[in-house]
Structure 1
Amino acid sequence: MNEHVPPSTEDAALRAEDAAKGAVAPGARKRPRPGERREQILQTLAAMLEQPGAERITTAALAARLGVSEAALYRHFASKAQMFEGLIDFIEQAVFTRVAQITGREPSDAAVPEECTRQAMRVVALLLQFGEHNPGLARVMVGDALVLEHERLQQRMIQFFDRIESSLRQCLRPAAGAAGSATPSVDAQVAASVLTAFIQGRLQRFARSGFRRLPTEHLEASLALML
């Protein structure tokens, strides 16, 4: 995808792909390659979501931005809800691929508390940096862009953050146990819940401020207070 939707490599999970790469001269190709128009629709939808104070996006407005008919959109997506599901699919793939890389490293016994805490901090930073570099997708993540859309879209994002909380809990439980907690599972659950709420709150503030209040603002100091 283009600058609004990053690929799933480590750097690109935070930064967007250059849309100019691989471009061809006008007229060199009369019709898009298979899947290219679908990608273009999702890129354009993400770009429209980046406009501060943007109203609910209609298929008519999306088609006008692309310079095609609404019927052309429906050749690639059965509904607008499917378009948003395409964005959510991308968010899930980009984020959870990187989360698995972060949490898949097994710390040595001596380094359990510190390394597990660092893993949790990296997961939090990943989410906030991803949203910061992709403002349109941040609006999807916190549900602002999904108001008045199909309820299943909101449920997908609820499940997304449930998975994030579960990943954080798995990171933090060994640290709680190594620190001598009598209830490591409970302590890890509480900490994971607080961190997940922090992520959601920072992304929500970013979207509601017209993308002026960055999610990563004072991030290290904030995490130091919580972990």
Structure 2
Amino acid sequence: MRESLQPADIDSSNADAGKTRKRPRPGERRLQILQVLAEMLQNPKGERVTTAALAAKIDVSEAALYRHFASKAQMFEGLISFIEQTVFGLINQINQKEESGLAQARGILQMLLFFAEKNPGMTRVLLGDALLQEDDRLQERITQVLDRVEASLKQALRIAQTQGGTWAQLGSDEVSIRAAMLMSFVLGRWHRFARSGFKKLPTDASDVSLRLLLSE
């Protein structure tokens, strides 16, 4: 299961690799830029990442960055796309594996906490912290991603409604309220993680918390 941004594998088959510097394969430099950007966002001080600092970290010119991305906003869109594809890919896996609505909800919540823990820089993107002073459309995009996650939780709880027990007695408004409450729990854990300099892990005692939140 892939939850963290990894660099492309480097091809070492070239016999002259030790003599000449190989050019990056297509897409390799682009992936490297996103990976280093995500790593720089892990700075506990939460300082804004500039393209100059990013270029220096990769040891290329700023002009080289813009050969792969038209703007800094496009770099952040690349990170958001990674988050979106990974999170919803995992949600689909959870839903296919679990028939119980409550098990689906629990799996989604655990995955969201674990994803943040494995990807501290991405947590700052999810919270919008890293998008401050950037293009406004980035905030709108990440809000849409979080709305879709909440909709997935709501759908899981609706399935739980059809499976008997106390959840079957909940009305549609109550299901929406519960889904929003669960999403608030996740956001709270993410904020706590980021504000602690990534020391207070979002998964700490999460089993107990989720048992209470999803109890009938």
Same fold (TM over 0.5): yes
Asked if residue 104 in structure 1 is aligned to residue 96 in structure 2, the reply is yes
Q: Is 1:193 aligned with 2:185?
A: no
CA distance in 2, matches of 1:44, 1:106: 35
- Match status 1:219 vs 2:206: yes
Task: Report Cα offsets for 1:105-128 as digits up to 9, x if no partner.
Answer: 573xxxxxxx21111010001011
After superposition, the Cα gap between the structure-2 partners of 1:106 and 1:44, relative to the gap in structure 1 and judged at 3 Å, is: closer
> Does the C-alpha gap of structure 1 residues 37 and 150 become closer, same or farther in structure 2, counting only changes over 3 Å?
same
Match of residue 179 from structure 1: 165
1:33 aligns with 2:25: yes
What TM-score, normalized by structure 2, do the two folds share?
0.89
The amino acid across from 2:209 in the alignment is: S
Q: Deviations over 1:64-112 (max 9, x none)?
A: 11111111111111110000000000000001011012123573xxxxx
| Cα displacement (A) at 1:189 | 1.0
TM-aligned CA deviation for residue 218 of structure 1: 0.8
Residue 43 (str. 1) matches residue 35 (str. 2): yes
- Runs (5+) with no aligned partner, structure 1: 1-9, 108-114
CA distance in 1, matches of 2:180, 2:19: 53
Q: Which residue of 1 aligns with 2:83?
A: 91
Deviations 1:34-92 (A, max 9, x none): 11111111011011111211311111111111111111111111110000000000000
Alignment of 1:1-227 (within 5 A): 10=1, 12-13=2-3, 15=4, 17=6, 19=7, 21-22=9-10, 24=12, 25=17, 27=19, 29-105=21-97, 107=99, 115-177=100-162, 178-179=164-165, 181-227=168-214
Fraction of identical pairs, as percent: 53
Distance (whole Å) between structure 2 residues aligned to residue 34 and residue 184 of structure 1 = 52
Q: State whether residues 5 and 35 of structure 2, in contact with CA within 8 Å, keep that contact through their aligned partners in structure 1.
A: no
Q: What residue is the counterpart of 1:7 in the other structure?
A: none
**Contact 1:138–1:203 (CA<8 Å) still a contact in 2?**
yes
Give the C-alpha shift of residue 26 in structure 1: 5.1
Offset of residue 16 of structure 1? 5.5
Query: For residues 117 and 163 of structure 1, what CA distance do their matches in structure 2 show?
Result: 18
CA distance 1:209–1:83, shift in 2 (3 Å): same
Asked if the contact 1:48/1:54 (under 8 Å) is kept, the reply is no
Q: Aligned equivalents of 1:56 and 1:16: distance in 2?
A: 20
Closer, same or farther in 2 for the Cα pair 1:73/1:141, shift >3 Å? Answer: same
Q: How many residues align?
A: 208
What are structure 2's unaligned runs of at least 5 residues? none
DSSP-derived class of the 2:86 partner: helix
Change (3 A) 1:106 1:123: closer
Instruction: Tell me if the contact between 1:81 and 1:153 (Cα under 8 Å) persists in the aligned partners.
Output: yes
Q: Is the CA contact (8 Å cut-off) linking 1:173 and 1:187 kept in structure 2?
A: no
What SS is found at the alignment partner of 1:104?
helix
| 1:174 to partner: Cα distance | 2.5
Preserved CA contact (<8 Å) 1:174 1:184: no
RMSD between aligned residues: 1.9
